[in-house]
Amino acid sequence: MNITEDKMLEYLSKALVVVAVLVIGYVISRLILALLRKILDRSRMDGTAEGFVLSVLKVIFYFIVAVTALGTIGVNVASLITALGAAALTAGLALQDLLKNVVSGLVILINKPFVSGNILDFEGVKGTVEEINIFSTTVHTLDNKLVTIPNSRLTSNNVVNCTMVEQRRVDCTFSISYDDDIDKVREIILNLISTNEMILKDPEPTVRVGEHLDSGVQIKVFAWASPDDYYEVYFFLQENVKKEFDKNGITIPYPHLVIAKD
Give the model's pLDDT for residue 3. Answer: 54
CATH topology of domain 113-161: SH3 type barrels. (2.30.30)
Distance CA 10, CA 7 (A): 5
For residue 209, the Cα-to-chain-centroid distance in whole angstroms is 37
Domain spans of the chain, in order of start? 3-94, 113-161, 168-247
Helical pair 77-94 and 47-72, crossing angle rounded to 10 deg: 150
Distance CA 110, CA 185 (A): 49
- Please, which pLDDT band fits residue 239 given cuts at 50, 70 and 90? very high
CATH 3.20.20.70 fits 3-94, yes or no: no
Angle at 72 between CA 89 and CA 16, to 5 degrees: 120
Give the model's pLDDT for residue 178. Answer: 92
Q: Letter for the amino acid at 22?
A: L
Give the model's pLDDT for residue 180. Answer: 93
In this predicted structure, the answer to whether residue 9 has a pLDDT above a threshold of 80 is no
155-202, pLDDT tens digit by residue?
Answer: 988 898 988 778 999 999 999 999 999 999 999 999 999 999 999 999
Distance CA 105, CA 156 (A): 12
In this predicted structure, the answer to whether residue 48 has a pLDDT above a threshold of 80 is no
- Please, which pLDDT band fits residue 90 given cuts at 50, 70 and 90? low
Give the model's pLDDT for residue 232. Answer: 94
199-227, pLDDT tens digit by residue?
Answer: 999 999 999 999 998 889 999 999 999 98
pLDDT more than 90, % of the chain: 35
In this predicted structure, the answer to whether residue 83 has a pLDDT above a threshold of 70 is no
Pick from 99, 103, 110, 105: which is nearest to 43 by CA?
A: 110
Give the model's pLDDT for residue 149. Answer: 93
In this predicted structure, the answer to whether residue 257 has a pLDDT above a threshold of 70 is no
Pick from 71, 72, 93: which is nearest to 81 by CA?
A: 71
Q: What is the DSSP letter of 229?
A: G
In this prediction, residues 82-87 reach a mean pLDDT of: 69
Lowest mean pLDDT among 97-101, 116-120, 203-207: 97-101
Distance CA 104, CA 112 (A): 11
Whether 131 contacts 137, CB under 8 Å? yes
In this predicted structure, the answer to whether residue 29 has a pLDDT above a threshold of 80 is yes
- 3-state class percentages of the chain: helix first, strand second, coil last, to nearest 5: 55, 20, 25
Count CB atoms within 10 A of the CB of residue 227.
16
Beta bridge partners of 220: 173, 208
Distance CA 182, CA 116 (A): 44
Pick from 138, 205, 209, 119: which is nearest to 173 by CA?
A: 209
Give the model's pLDDT for residue 88. Answer: 64
Give the model's pLDDT for residue 112. Answer: 83
What's the order of all strands across the beta sheet hosting 146-150?
A: 146-150, 136-141, 125-132, 119-122, 160-161
Q: Which residues contact 46 (CB under 8 A, 6 or more apart)?
A: 109, 110, 112, 115
- Please, which pLDDT band fits residue 58 given cuts at 50, 70 and 90? confident
Pick from 23, 13, 9: which is nearest to 73 by CA?
A: 13
Check if 3-94 and 168-247 are the same fold: no
User: Domain spanning 168-247: which CATH class is it, in words?
Assistant: alpha beta
pLDDT more than 70, % of the chain: 83
Distance CA 254, CA 145 (A): 35
Give the model's pLDDT for residue 166. Answer: 84
